[in-house]
Amino acid sequence: MFRVLVADSIESEGIQLLSAAGFELDVRAGLDEAPLCEAIAEADAVLVRSRTRVTARAIEAGKRLRIITRAGIGVDNVDLAAATRRGVVVTNVPDATTTTTAELAVALLMALARRIPQADRNVRSGKYERTKFTGTEICGKTLGVIGFGRIGRIVADRALGLKMRVLAYDPYLPSDGSPMSGVSLQTLEGLLAAADFLTIHTPLTESTRHLLDGTRLAMCKRGVRIVNAARGGIVEEHALAEAIRSGQVAGAALDVTEVEPLQADSELRGLDAVILTPHLGASTEEAQRRVAQDAAAQIVEFARTGAAKSAVNFVSLPEELREELGPYLELAERLGATAGALAPAPIRRVSLRFRGARFEGSTGDRAAAALRASILAGCLRPALQDAVSPVSAPAVARERGIEVLESREPRDRDYMARVSVELTFTDGSSLGLDGTCFGRKPRLVALDGIPLDASLEGELVVTRHSDRPGMVGRIGTLLGERGVNLDRVDVGSPSDGAAERTAAAPGETAPLAVGVLGVSGSIPAGLVEAIRRVDGVRFVAAVRLPR
Ligand code: NAD
């Protein structure tokens, strides 16, 4: 009998689907680690929302466990690495709340324009001050959509229907051509200068944290109105409060805040021009039903066929091949993540080259397909976070107009197997990474054709710098000044080979070397900027990989 532990409360439609499939159900919402470990021991599948934490200990305790399904998008409450190690598939439900969240953003836009919550408060307080609530029309106004993914596109579509002019900013989309009829892509500066309303639909990443800070808010049209129904932390809250007090921002509607629930003493609570909702984006009956049904349907399909179309940790592969390919799947994901972190512009093309006997024949076809999916997922993750997985990555790349090329050769000159990833960007530049596995350890063995031997784990600082004495020392000093311990240093010099791709910086005579610096602990804010200012450093980026 297939047993499902439902460890968070979900809509009854989901429970009905699981019972109708003839599964044995254990419905116990809100388990802490110890009781979860006990309950999970008998389960083949676990269904959670965001509350229950499926820790490595719980996954170890799940001796029969084969699938963990998260009814929602973010899987940060599931220990993915532990699940992958144990061969447990983790799935999510990425699309069920898209329309619902877009509709909340549109509702907040309207509420901002007509100050509906404020007017409601006024009437309830015994007043009836009509003149105080003169609003603004949205027809003919310009809406700036920041982040043009699934939700941003639906908001844009609805806004066009409301006769707004719609501009979008999304640095991960090719800037030539329009992503949607009637919508034009802009630079962030262009969008801020033109928009009467802004709506945010990006994930929270290093590039979006405090995207709207004091400086950017000052670049907006005076009197702009802002909606954030994406993630807290994208708008810097104190800067927003200041901009509202000064009149630079006429109003803001926030469904999400940096700290949730919002602190009792948050200055936002005292500002009449701010509309606050308690993270309601996904809260409609339809979305909750859809999430529960989709999550349950995934478990039913997996139990019957072994297929998991929304798997976030791996593409389904036969057990023997998974065993053999395991370290290479890990290598592929890490090469992809490194390439994504080093990308200076949106990706136009991904060229993959697989060399070695394991990539021959029909087994080789499956191996290459699995590696391709993991590499693409890694490349797309800086833009899409949990919204992309190895399973969805090939389709997402296609949707985003990224060309994927692939070639295979039966052997490599230096290694048993080599995986090469070459990215071409929309600005015409390119980046090449070569990796292999030493035993089970993923290694970076060339960057832009320059041989090196760097371990692909933990926190890395990757540089391209002039190939002259003292450069690594100077960078190391900056790390030391910030209390960062340097674990490993791998330097590749262009004299080791492939010098043609290592053009010197303007005014430089030395060609460019590659540095891969592994640090223990995490890379502090400001370090990358400080390294960038070192004379002779042409490029620097931080890469965060699992240890
Ligand atoms: P998506 O992955 O489909 O789209 C996100 C888009 O943001 C992508 O096109 C990506 O290229 C773009 N992006 C990434 N970094 C960017 C940057 N620095 N500047 C501009 N654009 C950038 O995601 P989605 O499903 O549309 O969800 C959007 C956001 O809404 C996510 O943060 C998600 O967590 C959030 N969300 C909130 C609720 C809620 O309850 N309020 C519900 C669902 C989703």
Burial class (CB in 10 A: 0-12, 13-18, 19+), 201: buried
Task: Answer yes or no: do 289 and 347 share one domain.
Answer: no
Does one domain contain both 329 and 262?
no
Check residue 315 and give its pLDDT.
65
The answer to whether residues 232 and 172 belong to one domain is yes
Q: Are residues 347 and 379 in the same domain?
A: yes
Confidence of residue 504 (pLDDT cuts 50, 70, 90): very low
Mean predicted lDDT score pLDDT of the chain = 91
Q: Are 239 and 253 in contact (CB under 8 A)?
A: no
What's 475's domain CATH number?
3.30.70.260
What is the pLDDT, as a whole number, of residue 180?
A: 93
pLDDT beyond 60 at 506: no
Predicted local distance difference test score (pLDDT) of residue 453: 94
Please indicate, yes or no, if residue 368 is contained in any of the structural domains.
Answer: yes
Interval between CA 502 and ligand 1 midpoint (Å): 36
Specify the amino acid at residue 172.
Y
Q: Residue 268: pLDDT above 70?
A: yes
CATH number for the domain harbouring residue 7? 3.40.50.720
Residue 158 CA to ligand 1 centre (angstroms): 17
What number does the ligand 1 atom closest to the CA of 169 have? 20
Residues 340 and 417 placed together within one structural domain of the fold: yes
| 201 CA → ligand 1 middle, Å | 4
Does 348 map to a domain? yes
| Predicted pLDDT of residue 497 | 47
Nearest to 193 by CA among 214, 218, 210, 212: 218
205 is a domain residue? yes
The pLDDT of residue 509: 52
pLDDT at site 325 = 82
Same domain for 44 and 167? no
Residues 414 and 517 in one domain: no
Residue nearest to atom 19 of ligand 1 (CA): 170
Q: Which two tokens stand for residue 462?
A: 């990757």
Q: Could you tell me which residues come within 8 angstroms of residue 461 by beta carbon, excluding any fewer than 6 positions away?
A: 475, 479, 515, 516, 517, 519, 523, 527, 528, 531, 540, 541, 542, 543
196 lines ligand 1 (CB under 6 A): no
The phi, psi pair for 458, rounded to 5°, reads 75, -160
Tell whether the model's pLDDT for residue 362 goes beyond 90.
no
Q: Mind listing the pLDDT tens digit for each residue in 407-435?
A: 999 999 999 999 999 999 999 999 999 99
Instruction: Give 360 Cα–ligand 1 centroid separation in angstroms.
Output: 39
Buried b (16+ CB within 10 A) or exposed e, 273-288: bbbbbebebbebeebb
3-state secondary structure of 417: strand
Choose one of 293, 310, 327: the last residue of a domain: 310
Residue-wise pLDDT tens digits, 465-474: 998 889 999 9
Among residues 347, 325, 326, which one has the least CA distance to residue 336?
A: 347
From the CA of 95, give the closest atom in ligand 1. Answer: 25
Mean pLDDT, residues 302-320 taken together: 78
Domain residues for the domain of 39 are: 1-94+282-310
- For range 499-515, the mean pLDDT: 58
Question: Is 43:62 a contact under the CB 8 Å cutoff?
Answer: yes
CB 133 within 8 A of CB 115: yes
What is the number of helices (H) and of strands (E) in the chain? 16, 22
Q: Are residues 1 and 136 in the same domain?
A: no
Query: Which ligand 1 atom sits closest to the C-alpha of 384?
Result: 2
Q: Percentage of the chain with pLDDT > 70? A: 96
Please identify every residue annotated as catalytic: 231, 260, 279
pLDDT band at 396 (very low <50, low <70, confident <90, very high): confident
Q: Which atom of ligand 1 is nearest to the CA of 94?
A: 25
**Residue 276, beta-bridge partner list:** 254
The answer to whether position 396 is within a domain reads yes
Q: Which pLDDT does position 176 carry in this prediction?
A: 72
108 lines ligand 1 (CB under 6 A): no
Distance CA 539, CA 532 (A): 7
The token pair that represents 255 in the structure block: 């469904």
Interatomic CA distance for residues 334 and 543, integer angstroms: 10
For range 208-229, the mean pLDDT: 98
88 and 137 fall within a common domain = no
**Statement to judge: residues 118 and 230 lie in one domain:** yes
Alpha helices in 69-149, H assignment, sequence order:
80-85, 98-114, 116-124
Query: What phi and psi values does residue 417 have, to the nearest 5 degrees?
Result: -150, 145
- Is 259 among the domain residues? yes
Whether residues 423 and 483 share a domain: the answer is no
What are residue 59's phi and psi, to 5 degrees? -65, -40
The pLDDT tens digits of the residues spanning 432-483 come to 999 999 988 999 999 999 999 999 999 999 999 998 889 999 999 999 999 8
Q: Is 145 in the pocket of ligand 1 (CB under 6 A)?
A: no
pLDDT per position as a tens digit, 82-106: 887 777 889 999 889 999 999 999 9
Asked whether residue 426 is domain-assigned, the answer is: yes
- Name the domain count of the chain: 4
Q: What is the mean pLDDT of residues 40-53?
A: 95
Mean pLDDT of 369-382: 90
Are 456 and 508 in contact, with CB atoms under 8 Å apart? no
Domain boundary (426, 447, 468) is at 447
- For the beta sheet containing 45-48, the strands, ordered from the edge strand earlier in sequence to the opposite edge, are 24-27, 3-6, 45-48, 67-70, 89-92
pLDDT of 543 over the 80 cut: yes
Q: What is the pLDDT of residue 475?
A: 93
* Residue 452, domain member (yes or no): no
Instruction: For residue 172, give the nearest of 208, 220, 225 by alpha carbon.
Output: 208
Q: Report if residue 305 sits inside a domain.
A: yes
pLDDT in the model for residue 86: 78
Q: What pLDDT, in 10s, does the model give residues 100-149?
A: 999 999 999 999 999 999 999 999 999 999 999 999 999 999 999 999 99
Question: Which H or E element spans position 490?
Answer: strand 485-492
Q: What is the DSSP string of 511-528?
A: PEEEEEEEEES-PPTTHH
Q: Are residues 207 and 124 in the same domain?
A: yes
